[in-house]
């Protein structure tokens, strides 16, 4: 048995890399103003204080949920990673106002596809926190989820998932 072990190679698995869905300041999910998200009850992730008005697909996959109120999108990759992008806190109450959807539930997307156009100024003026929340909803399936914080451009890698 020992004779063959020297030829076995340890296979390094590349982490899944999740891009920023919008440019802005990426903060720890625990520092956001939503108790459900900051408790990590829905999974590990980040908050983003957006500096642009478009939300793009942070990874390729299928849109498995697109709320009628347009404030939240769920994407599942072919490898099983499940992401939830939630635009703003309590913005479900806006009933889609200030959001324009560019995709729909069931669509297949690639990284960088525009999902939503959002008027963050109008959301803020309406009295809502416009922080974009993005979490890996099936966090428990992975060994580690690392979040890269700070100022990021759209499509910079902000989450790395290791099996």
Q: Is the dihedral of CA 9, 15, 16, 19 positive or negative?
A: negative
Mark whether 86 is an active-site residue. Answer: yes
Q: Which tokens hold the place of 84?
A: 């939830």
**Residue in 86, 109, 133, 152 annotated catalytic:** 86
Phi, psi of 87, rounded to the nearest 5 degrees: -95, 110
Q: Does residue 4 sit in helix, strand or coil?
A: helix
Q: Does residue 163 sit in helix, strand or coil?
A: coil
Q: Active-site residue numbers?
A: 86
């Amino acid at each position: 048995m020992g004779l063959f072990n020297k030829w076995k190679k340890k296979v390094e698995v590349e982490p899944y890399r999740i891009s920023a869905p919008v440019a802005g300041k990426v903060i720890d999910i625990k520092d956001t103003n939503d108790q459900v998200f900051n408790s990590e009850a829905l999974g590990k992730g980040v908050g983003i204080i957006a500096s642009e008005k478009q939300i793009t697909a942070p990874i390729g996959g299928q849109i498995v949920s697109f709320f009628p109120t347009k404030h939240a999108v769920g994407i599942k990759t072919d490898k099983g990673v499940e992401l939830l992008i939630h635009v703003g806190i309590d913005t479900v109450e806006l009933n889609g106002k200030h959001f324009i959807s560019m995709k729909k539930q069931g669509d297949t997307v690639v990284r960088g596809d525009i999902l939503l156009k959002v008027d963050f100024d109008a959301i803020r003026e309406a009295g809502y926190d416009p922080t974009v929340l993005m979490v890996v909803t099936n966090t428990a399936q992975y060994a580690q989820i690392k979040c890269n914080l700070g100022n990021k451009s759209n499509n910079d890698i902000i989450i790395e998932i290791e099996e």
